[in-house]
Amino acid sequence: MSGSPQVLRVEITVDSREGADRLAASMVERRLAACAQVGGPITSHYRWEGENQRDEEWMIVAKTAADRLDDLVGHVVAEHPYDVPEVVAVPVAGGNPAYLEWVCDETRRDGAE
């Protein structure tokens, strides 16, 4: 991956399958993510506005280049139904070099490096 940006794995939760599919597709269409998988349902337990919450959610796992993260987060915040959507990015420490290069290539704004 020499010369390519760092690859990130980004997790986002959404309250419906349809919403997760819509958000995942829009991230890929805008080249904010090379790939976005939707899984669920999952059960989330958390505190919100001083109360314990338990909700069914769907998880999006997107792969992107680190230099696209700010744009991806901005898109999620603008399109997401939650006031404060979960967007958590972690660096990918390794993997198939050809796949990691593909992630970087697919997240270029104009489709070119």
Whether 14 contacts 60, CB under 8 Å: yes
Gap between the Cα atoms of 40 and 7, Å rounded: 24
Gap between the Cα atoms of 45 and 79, Å rounded: 23
The residues facing 59 across adjacent strands are 13, 39
Token look-up 């958590």 returns 88
- pTM score: 0.90
Which tokens hold the place of 82? 């939650």
Give pLDDT, residue 1. Answer: 44
The residues facing 64 across adjacent strands are 8
Give pLDDT, residue 4. Answer: 56
Gap between the Cα atoms of 59 and 92, Å rounded: 18
Which tokens hold the place of 48? 């919100």
Which tokens hold the place of 29? 């269409």
Gap between the Cα atoms of 62 and 29, Å rounded: 13
Contacts of 17 (CB under 8 A, 6+ apart): 38, 40, 41, 58
pLDDT above 50 (res 113):
no
- Tell me the pLDDT tens digit for each residue of 27-77: 999 999 999 999 999 999 999 999 999 999 999 999 999 999 999 999 999
